Amino acid sequence: VNTVNHPTRSDPMSKYKMNPYIPESDAEKAYLEAYDPSKYPSVFTTVDIAIFTMRGGRLHVLLIERADFPYKGCWALPGGFVEPDETLDEAALRELAEETSLTGDQTGHLEQLGTYGDPGRDPRGRIIDVAYIALLPDVPDPEAGSDAAHARFWAIEDLVEEQVQLAFDHPRILADALERAAGKLEYTTLATTFCAEEFTLTDLRRVYEAMWGTALDKANFARKAQQTDGFVVAQDKQRTGGSRGAPARLFKAGDATDLHPAMLRPAEARNAFLPDADARTIRRNR
Amino acid sequence: VNTVNHPTRSDPMSKYKMNPYIPESDAEKAYLEAYDPSKYPSVFTTVDIAIFTMRGGRLHVLLIERADFPYKGCWALPGGFVEPDETLDEAALRELAEETSLTGDQTGHLEQLGTYGDPGRDPRGRIIDVAYIALLPDVPDPEAGSDAAHARFWAIEDLVEEQVQLAFDHPRILADALERAAGKLEYTTLATTFCAEEFTLTDLRRVYEAMWGTALDKANFARKAQQTDGFVVAQDKQRTGGSRGAPARLFKAGDATDLHPAMLRPAEARNAFLPDADARTIRRNR
DNA sequence: TTAATAGTGTCTGTGAGACAATATGCT
DNA sequence: AGCATATTGTCTCACAGACACTATTAA
């Protein structure tokens, strides 16, 4: 059909090339013209985003209070339908911008989490939900959009304590998102995404502590963060007055995206959520 | 709406509970009855599976040669449309069974990889593809299904060498699948899924070597595999004749699903594929 | 002055990685 | 006999983790 190669280990960029489709034969063109999509089951597609941010050393997630049925009055992850002409990533970016009014000089991270499509997960019909995760530095509470009576950041602890009920299968999506984010901090530099442009090592450590629910040794953490190449870059400044103690040196995020070696969670923080929740073992009969 | 709690760190199982939806008010029932899904963009949903297995120390993936347009004659990942009454996981399991004729006492692993939904990825229209990964021990080549002229396992190396052209955006899906699988071997016990019920440490080491494209020190690998709790269980048997050298002790897979500590790839095997391909950094202006 | 925080230093145990040495069975 | 393979052993270096100690600021 064309000449684009298969992705190889020696040419990793080729993985992003899709084989363009060019109908060649008349039979092929006739098939495409006669193709009737209505004989296949049709569904609706939404994107939902777990937008995480850090406030006062506590992990927060943005929720909206649903203004309409179904689950009217319930808190839910923000999201919406995918438009016909946009990619899934673009739909997630659009929703993220709508919900948070990003000003353009914001820094953040967005990635696909997974897709949830059980029949019955939405009483309106078969709706496939592609869930995303966004990590943002502290941003203001958003204005309520047309779809949301209220929208605000909730501390995860408060959600648990007040036993807030989330709409649809969002309890599971949020749990998966938390586990994914906690795991990603281990082997990527994404923790800096939660921090302001300049941050102290204590700021950075609090990100890990909030995400893992564990206290970390400040001395060992500081040593490790500075040893890891490209993680943090020391500035010739100090911050004073932010706390009661001595002034702390300021850092910026480095160039690295992966952490070598990894910053592994202590064992007691490993099973905060069930690992590998999405995996299905076909049979384990050993 | 109901009383199911939010997932908590102390009760990880609660993450799997979906809030059941029970319409309460008359307005709610009226809304649902009047709900018109046709005003939302509708798409079609498929599942595709990258089915990996190990043959002769080489990693293989199952491909089908497409019998119909589009991409007729091209090799592609097996898959099909999601039926209206099945979950995504069930659809993937069904396709897996159809393609491999699993006999029931097979052992394997199936997990969701990610979702690919760019407009234009399929010339027939907007089709959202939920991709899965399956890991299987050596299984026979499957019979061709109705949708496939031919189906067989391809060695990854041969795909690269012969510059096989994959249909749709399957080059990227396969590359993502390879990267995911390679990464999972680091911190899970999934490598044993590629092995027969009883295997030698060299069998297991060859799984890692094939997946990472690197030679590993056999002495260090054996020590590490046996030290890691629950990874392998020594049997009171040896296998002889499988190779030219001394007889090798046989092992079975242990109970553990996670590896502590992790079996990290050597640095030269880390960038076999681009890490974090799905992630999108909103802006990195530091 | 007191308490809290930042930063440095030290010690130990574990494990990865390199590599040697020996044992066993196939050809 | 010779060779390929399996298994055990040894040594070194890096790093995680625990913890002590000093310096600096706010209350």
pLDDT at A153: 93
**Would you call A145 exposed, middle or buried from its count of C-beta atoms within 10 A (0-12, 13-18, 19+)?**
middle
pLDDT at A101: 73
Mean pLDDT calculated for residue range B178-182 = 94
Name the least confident of A95-104, A192-201, A276-285, B3-12. B3-12
Name the least confident of A281-285, B101-105, B236-240. A281-285
Residues of B in contact with A267 (CB under 8 A): 260
Residues of B in contact with A116 (CB under 8 A): 88
pLDDT at A41: 63
Residue A70 clears pLDDT 50, i.e. is over it: yes
Residues of A in contact with B118 (CB under 8 A): 18, 87-88
Return the closest nucleotide (C1') to the Cα of A261.
D15
pLDDT at A284: 45
Residue A174 CA to residue A65 CA, distance in Å, equals 15
A183 or B101, which is more confident: A183
Q: For residue B73, is it left (φ>0), alpha (ψ between -120 and 50) or beta?
A: left
How is residue B106 written in tokens?
């097979």
Condensed to tens digits (0 to 9), the pLDDT of residues A95-129 reads 998 888 766 556 789 999 999 999 989 888 899 99
- Quick one: pLDDT band at residue B280, thresholds 50, 70, 90? low
**Residues paired with residue B110 on neighbouring β-strands, in sequence order:** A280, B134
Ordered DSSP codes for A1-27: ---PPPP-SS-GGGGG--------SHH
The number of residues making up chain A comes to 286
Condensed to tens digits (0 to 9), the pLDDT of residues A35-54 reads 665 666 678 899 999 999 99
Mean pLDDT calculated for residue range B15-43 = 65
Name the least confident of A23-32, A158-167, B59-68, B238-247. A23-32
CB contact under 8 A, A4 and B43: no
pLDDT at A133: 96
Cite residues whose beta carbon is less than 7 Å from strand C.
Answer: A 200-202, 218-220, 222-223, 238, 243-249; B 217, 219-220, 223-224, 227, 240-241, 244-247, 261, 263-264, 266
Condensed to tens digits (0 to 9), the pLDDT of residues A145-185 reads 555 458 899 999 999 889 898 999 999 999 999 999 999 99
pLDDT at B123: 84
Tokens 């000449």, located at residue: A3
Return the closest nucleotide (C1') to the Cα of B264.
C16
Question: Strands B58-66, A148-155: parallel, antiparallel or unpaired by DSSP?
Answer: unpaired
Contact in structure between A233 and A254 (CB atoms under 8 Å): yes
* Nearest CA distance, B228 vs chain A (angstrom): 14
* Nearest CA distance, B200 vs chain A (angstrom): 16
Cite residues whose beta carbon is less than 7 Å from strand D.
Answer: A 217, 219-220, 223-224, 227, 240-241, 244-247, 261, 264, 266; B 200-202, 218-220, 222-223, 238, 243-249
Cα pseudo-dihedral A175, A180, A183, A189, rounded to 10:
-130
Name the DSSP class of A141.
P
Question: Strands A127-136, A42-55: parallel, antiparallel or unpaired by DSSP?
Answer: parallel
Residue B155 clears pLDDT 60, i.e. is over it: yes
Return the closest nucleotide (C1') to the Cα of B260.
C15
